[in-house]
């Protein structure tokens, strides 16, 4: 079942939950945490600190750190003084 987006709307003096219209629904982030991390880093032209990644990915700090370590161990991410960035591959260099 797809997610349903609700918003709080005022009707006179009362408040009610209403379905959000398609135009007001923000882009739904990728489903897995790894996909969110990779998406955030691919949209950035610099290394991102953990605090910024946590905000962008909307994930708990402990979970984010666990996934960053796993992705770095798998060779997908590099860590430097400024944070994490994607590893450049031959296909990304050809663009």
* Segments making up each domain of the chain, as ranges: 33-93
Judged against a pLDDT cut of 90, whether residue 7 lies above it is answered with no
Q: Give the mean pLDDT of 22-27.
A: 54
Q: Which two tokens stand for residue 25?
A: 């629904």
Cα dihedral value 43, 45, 51, 52, nearest 10: -50
Q: According to CATH, what is the number of the domain 33-93?
A: 1.10.10.10
Cα dihedral value 15, 16, 17, 22, nearest 10: -90
pLDDT category of residue 77 using cuts at 50, 70 and 90: very high
Cα dihedral value 41, 51, 71, 84, nearest 10: 60
| pLDDT, the chain, mean | 83
Lowest model confidence (mean pLDDT) among 14-18, 67-71, 84-88, 91-95: 91-95
Buried-exposed string 86-95: b where 16+ CB fall within 10 A, e elsewhere: beeeeeeeee
pLDDT category of residue 2 using cuts at 50, 70 and 90: low
Q: Which two tokens stand for residue 32?
A: 């897995």
Task: Decide which of 51 and 26 is more confident.
Answer: 51
């Amino acid at each position: 079942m797809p997610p349903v987006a609700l918003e709080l709307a005022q009707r006179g003096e009362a408040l009610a939950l209403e379905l959000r219209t398609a135009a007001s629904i923000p882009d739904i982030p990728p489903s897995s945490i790894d996909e969110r991390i990779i998406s955030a880093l691919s949209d950035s032209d610099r290394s991102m600190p953990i605090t910024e990644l946590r905000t962008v990915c909307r994930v708990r700090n402990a979970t984010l750190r666990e996934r960053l370590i796993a992705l770095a161990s798998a060779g997908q991410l590099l860590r430097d003084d400024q944070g994490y960035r994607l590893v450049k591959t031959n296909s990304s260099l050809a663009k």
